[in-house]
Amino acid sequence: MKQYVIDQLRPNDFESLKNFLDEKHGPALMGGIYWIPVDEELLNPVQAAHTECQPHCFALELDYTTLSAELLVRTLAKVRCQCMGYADKKQREWMMDFVDATLERLGISV
């Protein structure tokens, strides 16, 4: 699986991230997994056409020492669909920017 991983989080970092993600995107439904919707303007043509599969999301997993962004665009409506797949360059950059901006906003240095 392709991922963008931030490791060696400190206990305070974990708490800050958890509180932020719970407030903005949660609470986490399965363990520490949060579903981050991809901006609609970033959807590829197949994803945009699959309105019944929207929102398309990235999975962001938070545990005590690691924040991992899975670089797979998923739909929460189906287990498999042709609209799911690895992020293209714009989507990948958007997710990495989202993670980096969240860390900066919370004052977490890595």
pLDDT digits (tens, 9 = 90+) for 18-57: 999 999 998 887 889 999 999 999 999 999 999 999 999 9
Rounded CA-CA distance 56/48 in Å is 9
State the Cα torsion 81-3-103-48 to the nearest 10°: -20
CA triplet 69, 52, 35: central angle to 5 degrees?
Answer: 20
Predicted model pTM: 0.89
Supply 57's token pair. 């999301």
Q: What is the pLDDT of residues 49-91, one digit of tens each?
A: 999 999 999 999 999 999 999 999 999 888 889 999 999 999 9
How many CB atoms within 10 Å of residue 58? 23
Q: Where are the domains of the chain?
A: 3-105
Rounded CA-CA distance 20/43 in Å is 25
